[in-house]
A and B are shown apart, each in its own frame.
Chain A
Amino acid sequence: CKKYLDIEPVGRVIPTTAEDFRALLNAGYAGFAQHKSLLAARTDELVLNEFNDDFPLYRDIYKWNDINPDVLSIQFHYIDFYRTIFNANTVISDVEARAGVNTETAQLKGEAYLLRAYSHFELLNLYAKPYDKNTAATDRGIPLSLKVDLEHIYTPATVAVVYDQVLADIAEGQKLLNVKTFEAGKNYRFTTRAAFALLARVREFRGEYAEALKASKDALALDNQLEDLNAAGAVLPNNYLAKENIMSMESPFNNGINRLARISAHLIGLYNQTDDLRFAKYFSKSGSNYVALKGASDANKISFRNGELYLIQAEAALQTNDQALAVQSLLALKAKRLTPAYYTTEATRISALDKNALLQEILVERERELALEGQRWYDLRRYGQPQITHTVGGEAFILQKNDPRYTIRFPKDAIANNPNLQ
């Protein structure tokens, strides 16, 4: 009778082996939120085409109307992050008990810690104020999810507490990770290099430049290649096959936004259109407008790459008063992006800049290099929260300087299920 009832269902599984846990973790990677594509609509990088039929989906995001968006408006991601965290939490708690302790399970568990850290970090960037060490202990952060427990009552932890957890998870993960680089196609996973890259970004966002500098150096010490746009056959630096790739998990500029996005005059204006080789690689002219070539494809997924690390290194070195290293890092990147002749003029110009001007130059270079890679909104938050204007139907909508809308409200669904978020 027991045998009669023993049906191993097709297609369903209780994860027990390392392969199962790999698949479970993969689901966490694959389902990672594509919030950066929505954030792009809030930055100064784009002008949206009002006559695209998808425009109503983005209209209120574009207008920073978080208050009473139209029913059609896309909601910012929330549950997706926690679904990924759920998968990570399951791997953290079960993988070694079920599938044994070995380098493979250690790598899996390490990746899970990093994935959890990154998810919490991204939630903070969306829904909490930028880090300020004076107020972090009281600033409202986001709820932490550290184990699977349906009875747990989630309340937002402070920004400081969330960051402590993020750093602790990175540290815990770094102890376990043992793969430096995954082959192309599997490089959506966290590695020892990606862990350093994440740490560098977290420290940079916290304004802890000494730590940021160390982490970026550690990462580049493992591999410091850059894609050389002067070389024949060079791919986009954010391509998953690029020499400088560290990790390609996210679609920061997915097809949804790409379809109706035109590049803003502000962004176009930052480039030397002939001698900055990025310009032709990044953008294409469509009618009288420029559209992006960087997104809308799995091949262009990007989370971390060496190009960003060079910029973090430059920024962190400068902020820790190592201007020589700052200039050196910046120029190392530019050498691979500009025509040789233009590089020479730029090198001369940049070497002569004072500290403030150099910082500005680094920030502008971030805009140029990391355009449409989901970094801009965070950089705007970190540096100055300037005023931005978008026009819809002839009417100007203004995001004011230091506008509270630089922090996004928790989505309606999330508040409905957890009023502690109000």
Chain B
Amino acid sequence: TVLSAEDGKPIPGASVFVDKSGIGEQSSPGVIQNTVIGAMTDANGHFILKVPARTTYLKVSYLGYTTTMVDITNKTKITVSLKNDDKVLGEVIVTGYADIAKRKNTTSVAKLDYEKVRQNGVAGVDQMLEGQIAGVSVANLNGGPGAAPKIKIRGTVSLNGTQDPLWVLDGLPLEGTNLPNKLTDKDNIDQLRNLPIAGLNPDDIADITILKDAAATAIYGARAANGVIVITTKKGKKGPMAVNFSANTFISDRPDLSKLNLMNSNQKVDFELGMASRPDLIYRDNQGSVARILNKSGELSNYRTNGFSGLTAGTQDAINALRGNNTNWANELYQTALNQQYGLSLSGGSDQANYYFSSGYYNEKGTTIGTGMERYNITLKTDFNLSQKLKAGVAVFGSKTNRKNYLTDPDGYTNVSTYSRNVNPYQTVRDANGNYAYDLDILGTVNGDVYLPYNFLEERANTRYTLGNKSVKTVMDLNYEINRAFNIRTELGLQFEDTGVEKYAGQESYNTRKLRQSSSYFNSGLGKTDYFLPLGGVITNQNTSFFQYNWKSILEYKKVFAENHEVEALAGTELRRTYNEDVLTRGFGFNERTLTNQNIVFPNADFAKNPNFNSYQKGKQENAYASFYGTLSYTYDRKYTLYGSIRYDGSDLFGVDPKYRYLPIYSVSGAWNAKEEKFIKDINWISNLRLRSSYGIQGNIDKTTSPFVVGNYSNANILPGGNQPTISVTSPPNNKLRWEKTSTFNAGLDLGLFNNVVQVTFDYYNRYSKDLIGTEALQLENGFDFTNANFARVKNKGLELSISTRNIQTNNFQWSTDFNIAQNKSKVVQEKIRPNQLTPSREGFPVGAIFVLKTAGLDANGIPQFMKDGQVVSLENFYKLYDPWADFFPGELTSTALSNEEFRNLYTYAGDMEPKFTGGITNRLRYNNFDFAVTATFNIGQTVLARPQYNPAQVDRGRNYSTDILNAWSPTNAGSNMPGIFGKDSFDGERYMAYNWLTGFDASNSYNNLDVFSKKISYMRVSSMRLGYSLPAAIAGKVKANTLRVSIEARNPFVISTDYKGYFDPETYGNIYAQPISRSISIGLNATF
């Protein structure tokens, strides 16, 4: 029988087992080790357990109680009393500054055991968080190997500023974890990045704590406005050395290109023939193989009069031959990849010290051929008890990461995802002689005459883009207990990040050809055009070295007065300095074999200014921060807790308005432990009931915007004979910038029922952000195109619910479920609207509001018509188009008579980009030695805007389209709802204004916002399914292993969704640059010795 020491009542659900374990999988408290012999107490606290003959001790554990070892030598019936303990791992909230007992917690935090979220074949812990915690959204933007996902905690506060949470590793806030906001555009999508968190081996993590409300994050200061993710790594446990070994192999599946519904060769040839037959379509009318064949044979007009059968036999054959080329681009661009992952850890400890050492290797090849990531890790952690009062700890995390890709061209034409959509299906990879077949439809090749040959495979073979990161992070701490009340602690964290990027483009590559072409000049000596870029490759090296130190000193005070009054206080300082240095060097005419390069001899200094030929560049930055903070917590009678925190952040002063040098940030919060009240204490089915509430204020100021004119020193070569010093101003002075302030209110409830068989956490929050700073487009007459300004007030309201249940608990069958769901509703309360803005104000709408133009089908010419004031109007009338030069030069110009405000009012609200509900559900089952877990994540009710498949006025016949375009309106297909393709001269030129409007006169490109392109989607992704089998101890023992477990796991096996036609995945709907999210199957082995 297991009883509570406090009140003598039985404890149901406690684990009783024979302990052999060190650190292995699934060893979190309260869960029975798979291979050990164990039992669970029943409702009366009773248990029955048969143990092997030699067993002398049983271990008894239960959440919230100290784990106890019981001597069972020669006993058959035992009674165990478990003591209440606040300090067991599961009951402490690690904030990075202090460990707060869970019963005193007043804030909104969530904690995850790593073993619960662990997935094989995933490079970083960030990706494992998807769907695990209510209010934390993890969005994959790109399916590349180890690509960082975008993490948002409780919606978007900042409109244009950083939206990423702060990552803290064993107390050290990591630097360099911010992602650019526009990750998905062509400038960013192909960039390799290595975030500091990616260097961490996920298997070293013990648990993850997420701080969500202001009361929890205030202690971190301004940079914690987007929430904090605190990572605590594993520690050695007292006992003999435990060895853990794991190996995984995983296979990533080739993405399914058929999801894109692209035209095949036959369809594309017919499509191009159809386009060629229409003289009114002149947009890029020389592109595409059919146009090239007809132009070459001079039979275009013949074709237009007599049709295909009127062409000469040779021309017909040439065109028909295209139909037979069905290059399988999916196989050329993508692959099924075989990947590996290994880990080894040693841990143990004694009374004086404990240790945890681990090393790991991770190798992932991308499903996109030519991409990959490889990582080596080493972690060393030890803690020493130097004396009763003095403790010290040292942790070192080292990693080396290599990522590789090929080089895409600066204009994004050769991005693999766009190319796979755009390449013509009849485009061959190699010609009959085995040489590379060049794509004549890549822009930069003119009118079919190839000047800059481009072939994807050649590009992949002859270019290289690698990123190597070496990272060392260390945390050292010293803790001295002055007396029972006072404790002093100091902690020094260091972070070194050394990142080297190498970009190489061989001589035979589009990249180099393009650069070489830009080096052409007229050589008057030779009397002809010449190039100054030497023959050979071009190599670019960019090295960034980053270093930060973070030194925290904290004095803690803890005392209980008169038994009922508990006081905890803390005061501390934090000094932080960061150094960043980057150097870029370039070599031209580079020979990979001899490693030699040549100097450029510029024909004149004018060329030397082109940044592409810049051979050296250096940047250097140093920042300093000093902060002071304090917290005070008071608990009365174990029932009521009040907590307050305050922090002052100071930072380096250059260019900052003195008013904003120190930012105060504070919070107050309280909790009521209702279960301790007499009237609830006796209600048996309620095992836990707590109410919490908090309020806090956080502020931020943008330090890049100064009230003064701040510039960078530079040199300009204006005339020959020496550089002239210059100061270039990169952002305009702005003295109107104010503090950005966010206040957060949070109310929460923690409920445990039936001895915590059901545990519920519910939170409500309300965040109000005033004077949000964001980039604001400027009129170009300012000399700058944007500035940072306070321009909005935003409210975020949300509900979060997590439920964990233990559904079935028997000796050989267990089933538990974790479920979470969150809703975040944002509303822009106020937004500064510039008079020049053409898109509607979001005031009163969500931050992610999507606005559309209401269409009403197509008109008699197949051009979209619109709804305005309940009436169906033509495109021309909808936009009130007119021709300003109608009198003397009709047809040239088109303009709108709408004022900007009227233009904004054309839009109607369609929905919110952010999903209505997000969440996840995990089911874990165990039957004898088998365990099975399924994790699914879901997004419900999200409005998305697809990219239009084509612009009816600008259909480029040189690229491929989705088969939807075949259904475009035409006089013979008048029933279609897809706009018809038309030119300026179509319909006797009567619709030229509509044509002009669609081809660029519409400054806001509002065609992209037609209501037909928006829709609501919902999806649920099964992100992981894992089946494990723990070999019986007898078999494991044969290889001298304590435990031996094999597992098989499917990652992202399938997704259930409303229609997402035309895109790889509902998650990246609308983004044509995104790489597909990879699916994989992994086989793993885990052994402890």
Contact = CB atoms under 8 A, between A and B. Distances in A.
Interface stretch (A101-109, A382-390, A413-421): A413-421
A27 B604 contact: no
Contacts of B317: none
Contacts of B654: 7-9, 12
B895 to A, nearest CB: 6
Contact of A188 (B521, B719, B781, B789): B719
Contacts of B721: 184-185
Contacts of B734: 150
Given A26-B724, A78-B780, A85-B783, A53 B452 contact: yes
Interface stretch (B267-275, B523-531, B745-753, B766-774): B523-531
B777 A148 contact: no
A407 to B, nearest CB: 11
Interface string A29-69: 11100000000000000000011011110000000000111
Interface string A276-299: 000000001111000111001111
Contacts of A7: 622-624, 652-654
B443, B650, B718, B885 interface centre (most CB from chain A within 10 Å): B718
A145 interface: yes
Nearest to B709: A90
A368 interface: no
A422 B1001 CA distance: 10
Contacts of A85: 783
A188 B718 contact: yes
Interface in B98-112: none
A79 B449 contact: no
Contacts of A148: 709, 732-733, 782
A5 B736 contact: no
A258 B654 CA distance: 45
A13 interface: yes
Contacts of B621: 9-10
Nearest to B445: A53
Contacts of A11: 619-620, 712-713
A22 interface: yes
Contacts of B736: 150-151
A130 B827 CA distance: 50
B948 interface: no
Interface string A181-205: 0001111100000000000000000
Nearest to B722: A185
Nearest to B450: A53
Contacts of B528: 286-287
Interface in B671-713: 706, 708-713
A24 B711 contact: yes
A75 B928 CA distance: 72
A1 to B, nearest CB: 5
A298 B604 contact: yes
B783 to A, nearest CB: 3
Contacts of B133: none
Contact of A154 (B719, B729, B779): B779
Contacts of B778: 150, 417
Contacts of A50: 446-447
A413 B778 CA distance: 11
B145 to A, nearest CB: 32
A255 B709 CA distance: 33
A55 B711 contact: no
Contacts of A418: 779-781, 836
Interface stretch (B349-357, B800-808, B886-894, B1070-1078): B886-894
B728 interface: yes
A354 interface: no
A68 B1001 contact: yes
A393 interface: yes
Contacts of B719: 184-188, 240, 248, 298-299, 301
Interface in B718-748: 718-722, 724-729, 732-734, 736
A259 B529 contact: yes
A286 B789 CA distance: 55
B720 A27 contact: no
A397 to B, nearest CB: 12
B650 A82 contact: no
B655 interface: yes
Contacts of B451: 51, 53
Contacts of A285: 527
A123 to B, nearest CB: 10
Q: Interface size class for chain B?
A: 35 or more
Interface in B578-626: 603-607, 619-626
Nearest to B726: A27
Contacts of B624: 4-5, 7
A86 B521 contact: no
A12 B655 contact: yes
Nearest to B452: A53
B755 interface: no
Which of A5, A85, A153, A249 has its CB near the most chain B CB atoms (within 10 A)? A5
B877 interface: no
Contacts of B623: 7
Interface residues of A, number: 93
A24 B784 CA distance: 15
Contact of A9 (B622, B650, B716, B725): B622
A5 B626 contact: yes
A100 interface: no
A56 B449 CA distance: 13
A12 B521 CA distance: 35
A287 B522 CA distance: 12
Contacts of B718: 26, 29-30, 188, 249, 298, 301
B1033 to A, nearest CB: 59
Contact of A27 (B517, B521, B714): B714
B889 A27 contact: no
B724 A14 contact: no
B781 A72 contact: no
B1087 interface: no
Contacts of A284: 524, 527
Determine which residue in A68, A94, A297 has the highest number of CB atoms from chain B within 10 A of its CB, and name it: A68
B787 interface: yes
A419 B732 contact: no
A23 B711 CA distance: 10
A15 interface: yes
A291 B651 CA distance: 58
Contact of B780 (A8, A54, A69, A79): A79
A422 B785 contact: no
A419 B999 contact: no
A172 interface: no
Given A6-B653, A150-B734, A299-B719, A259 B727 contact: no
B1000 interface: yes
A19 interface: yes
Interface of A: 1-2, 4-15, 19-20, 22-24, 26-27, 29-31, 50-51, 53-56, 67-69, 72, 78-79, 82-87, 90, 94, 143, 145, 148, 150-154, 184-188, 240, 248-249, 251, 254-255, 258-259, 284-287, 291-293, 296-299, 301, 393, 400, 403-405, 409, 412-420, 422
20 contacts: A5-B626, A5-B651, A14-B709, A15-B727, A26-B727, A27-B728, A31-B728, A53-B452, A53-B517, A86-B782, A145-B781, A148-B733, A150-B782, A150-B787, A185-B722, A403-B889, A412-B1003, A413-B785, A417-B778, A419-B836
Q: Please provide the 7 A-B residue pairs with the shortest distance between their CB atoms, ordered closest to farther.
A: A86-B783, A30-B716, A185-B721, A68-B999, A154-B781, A27-B726, A297-B604
Interface of B: 443-444, 446-447, 449, 451-452, 517, 520-522, 524, 527-529, 575, 603-607, 619-626, 650-655, 661, 706, 708-714, 716-722, 724-729, 732-734, 736, 777-785, 787, 789, 835-836, 838, 885, 888-889, 892-893, 895-896, 900, 996, 999-1001, 1003-1004
Given A7-B652, A297-B603, 10 more contacts: A9-B654, A27-B714, A67-B996, A68-B999, A82-B783, A83-B784, A143-B779, A240-B719, A240-B720, A293-B524
